[in-house]
Every structure is written in structure tokens, then in C-alpha cells.
Structure 1
Amino acid sequence: MSRPGNTTRITDVTDAAQGAADANEGADLTEVRSAHGQPRPSGHEIARLPSAAERTRTLVQSTASAILVIPGLVPDLPELMVPEERIVGTDGDLFLLFPAESPAVRAATHAEDDDLTAVLDITDVAPVAVPGRIRGRAWIAGWVTVARDLPAPAGKVRLRLEVGEASLDDLWGAEQVEPDEFAAARPDPLVDHEAELLQHLAAAHADQVGWLCALAGGAGACRGIPAAAVPLALDRFGLRVRFTGEDGVFDARFEFPEPVRGHTDLHRAMHALFDAAQEAAAAQDL
């Protein structure tokens, strides 16, 4: 069990600065930037985080935007390649709902028994205004067929995407996910409500989120209330906040004492974090 507010400090540094920071005794955890401009773990092991398979499964079943890409197919209306619904079957196959006139449906229908390859490209954008708003991307590649055994609403068709491979590039890093790992994984229990929870924290608890900076650790991590503190990501293990202050922009992740399973657990965990932040701020005379 970790204490409320156990944190990982995540700063934006260059490779050279990272090496210098790691050499210092008691240095904060530093990260380099990904291609999307997001910090990445480097040099230290993070205690608890969702697995790559869980994070990919969570993205698939979230409200993140997605488009089906079929090699050689260039649709006149790209929006017709956006699935209206995404469901993961018990065996890990994806079931994607499209309008009957979608080029994806026509391609799958005409392919019949031929192998029709496709990639579901998912882009995860933070539901709050924050620098570097793209939190990550996932790619689910495999073979598409018409799911004739599953009913669909009138004027719609379900396609089955049999997963051949998956990859993820998000706040935690870039990883490959095997089909059996994806099938066995479960989405984060907060996935259906993460967006509204982050928006609520940003709108109704901005001051309390700002005081979390007092828990970020490291000399000079928080000189008074930061200019901006935005809740960036939330999962059953903790909350990630992006701070803007005198040191520039940096992220800090705040672990919950125990993984949360729903709103009741989350309510208690957030109160524990805010109480710990208030005590830390008072001790630091911020």
C-alpha cells in the first residue's frame, strides 16, 4: 500500500539534461518527450500502471476517435470510415458498426473469402484544454469480414476485425501488444466516465488540483501555486496532472492508496489526495 499522494515527478528535459539529472542524488524522475510531445518514463521503474494490453483495450472501448484504414482504399468521404460503435468480443475480436454505404462495408462484402487487411487507428485526445493535448495513439491491425452472425440496426452493418497485432504509443511509452494479451485484458473501470471526471476536476476543483503541486517532490518543484494545473489522465491507479509554473511545463502522477473500482472508491481517493496536498502545502508554507 502506498501513502496518499505518492508521486512520480515527470519533467520535460533533453537527453543530456536527463543524464545530468539522473546523476544527481535524489533526482526527480525525468522523462524525454515522445513524438507527440508527451513526457516518457526514463531511468526509473514506475510502481503501478495499467499494462499495455489494458491501456489498448481501454482506448478501444473509450470515446477516443478512431478510423478504419484499408490499404489501397481512398474514400471520398473519410467520415464513412469512422465506426459508429466499437465492441470487443469475448475472443478479442473487434466488432465495428458502419453505415451500409460505407466503403469499408463494400470492401468487406466484395472480399468474401479473400483476406482483407485493415488497421483501426485510434487517437486519444485529452478532454480538457492542456498543452500537448494528444495523449496517445493505438493501432489495431488485422483482417476484416462482415459479421453476418450479429444483428445490426437498419441501414447499418457490423464488421469483424480479427486482431493480428496491436501497438500503442501513449503517455507511458510505445509498446507492442499480442492478440492473446489484448483478448485477456480488461478496460480500466473508469473508462466510461474518465472524460467527465477530468472535466469536473478541472472546472470545480481547480484550486485543489493546483495544490497537488505541493506533493510533486523535488527541490523547487512547486514555487507557490502553479500558473496552471490541469488534470490530464485518470485510471484506477492514480491521477496525472500537467503543471505550468516557473520551471516550465511538467507532469506529476499521484498514486491512489489502493486501485479504485468506481465512483465511491474514487471519491475517497481524491479526498485523501487533496487532504495530503493541503498538509504538504501548509508544511511548505505555500
Structure 2
Amino acid sequence: MPSAAERTRTLVQSTCSAALLVPGLSVIHPDQLMPTDRSVGPEGDLFLCFPVDSPVVRAATRAQGDELTAVLEITDVAPVSVPHRIRGRARIAGWLTAVPGLARPGRMMLRLETGEASVDDLWGCEEVDPEAFRDAVADPLAEHEAEMLQHLHTVHSGRMATLSTLLGDRAGCGCAEHRLDAVPVALDRFGLRVRFVEGTRACFDARFDFPDPVRDISELRRAMHILFEAASC
């Protein structure tokens, strides 16, 4: 399974929605707390871009020389329609400073020095050591995950349904009344997570591991072919 540090790093470098919370700072519109861009530096610090007139930028500029604490909260929502759509949250807390000259005109780059981090997702809730976060690498499929999940859901829904044959006793009787809908909910280099839904009632997740971790789309296609072949036997 991906480590907690890798999962956190993947969320930070993804397109998931994020908000930067500064104690004592109130805003009129929640989107004033959302960075327009974010990246991770070589030391594990976060670089967050905001409009120069953002309340967050004003707070960081006024606090130059003092320790201004802040928390970046990231929410991960499944890119397909599925029950319980929020897949996870990540939290990066640390100290915020303004870094003039790194952003284009009209923008200001803020640096969040990582002090602590945590992730609460489909794998569970874990604390993340700042050094582990610094050294982690985002999942190589993260950039393509949303597109691939949507493709599997809309184009290959029939093949997705065959994965229930790999569930053993959890597949139920297999009759039309109790047929399970299979929705791909998460994808990483180690495997595919599918949410099985029985009508409008209970749902559960099943994880289908690839024979070997995949590194790119070509290897992913081969791994999915093997998985579907196993389900059709």
C-alpha cells in the first residue's frame, strides 16, 4: 500500500480543493483562502500562490519577522458519482511567510514551513513525519487518476461489474435483485479500489492489487487487462 507520506504528498500535489487557515483571520468569501497554485519545495515546504490583495497575503506580510502559524487543509473528492464521495483529507500545519519575487505580477508566493502533517483517507488516519513527507514522491498515476476512473466508469462499466466474481462469498447470490453495481473509486500504482453498491442500500469497498506496481499508463493498461481477464475466468 502507499505510505501515509506518499498519500499526503499526492494530495498536496493534486488538483484537490485546498484552503489555508490562519488563526484569527476571517474572510468574506471562502475562496479567498484557496491558493491558485501550490507546490512542494526540496525541503518539504509548501509554496502557495495567492493574489497580492488576498487577506492571507496581508496577514503573512504584516507578520514578517514573527511566527505566523497556518494550516493547509485539503479535501479529496472522488471524480465519479458514488456514495460517500469524500475520499480523504490531508492537513499540513506549520509557519507561514511571504516570499516576494517568486510569483508573477499581481500574485504573491507564500511559504508554509511544514511542522506536522496528517492524512485521513480510505486507508485510514495516520500522522506523517515532516521528513517522510519531504522525501515522499507523489503517486505516478495521480495526474491521470480522475480521467482513468471516469473512463472506467462510463466506458467499461460492464467489465467493472465482472470484478464481483473475484469477491467470493461477498458477491452475494448474483441474481438481478441483488446485483452489485461496481464503481471505480480510487486508483494508484499498487491497485484499484472499487465501491460495490447493492441497489440503494449498503455499499463496501474492495481492493484489487496489481501483480506489480505500475509506473505509467502503458503498464496500467496491461495491469487492468490482467485484472479483467482474471474476473472473466
Q: Normalization by structure 2: what TM-score?
A: 0.95
Per the alignment, residue 126 of structure 1 pairs with 78
CA contact (8 A) 2:74 2:91 kept: yes
Q: Which has the higher contact order (CA 8 A, sep 6+)?
A: 1
Q: 1:229 aligns with which of 175, 182, 187?
A: 182
Aligned-pair RMSD on alpha carbons? 1.4
CA contact (8 A) 1:189 1:262 kept: yes
In the TM superposition, residue 227 of structure 1 has moved relative to its aligned partner by: 4.0
Q: 2:166 aligns with which of 198, 208, 215?
A: 215
In the TM superposition, residue 218 of structure 1 has moved relative to its aligned partner by: 2.7
Q: What amino acid maps onto 2:152 in structure 1?
A: L
Which protein is richer in helix relative to its size?
2
Q: Does 1:245 align with 2:195?
A: no
Counting matched residue pairs gives 230
Per the alignment, residue 108 of structure 2 pairs with 157
Secondary structure at 1:277's aligned position in 2? helix
Per the alignment, residue 194 of structure 1 pairs with 145
Q: What amino acid maps onto 1:186 in structure 2?
A: V
In the TM superposition, residue 178 of structure 1 has moved relative to its aligned partner by: 0.9
Q: What amino acid maps onto 1:261 in structure 2?
A: R
Q: Does 1:178 align with 2:129?
A: yes
CA contact (8 A) 2:171 2:180 kept: no
Q: Normalization by structure 1: what TM-score?
A: 0.78
- Separation in 2, partners of 1:277, 1:176: 36
Tell me which stretches of 4 or more aligned residues in structure 1 moved more than 3 Å: 219-222, 224-227
Per the alignment, residue 58 of structure 1 pairs with 10
Kindly provide the CA deviation profile for residues 106-151 of structure 1, in whole angstroms up to 9, marking residues without a partner as x.
Answer: 0000001100000000000000000000001011000000123x52
Structure 2, unaligned runs of 5 or more: none
Q: Does 1:101 align with 2:53?
A: yes
Query: Given the superposition, is the C-alpha separation of residues 222 and 258 from structure 1 closer, same or farther in structure 2, using an over 3 Å criterion?
Result: farther
- Separation in 2, partners of 1:63, 1:185: 18
Secondary structure at 1:192's aligned position in 2? helix
CA contact (8 A) 1:68 1:119 kept: yes
CA contact (8 A) 2:164 2:180 kept: no
Q: What amino acid maps onto 1:243 in structure 2?
A: F
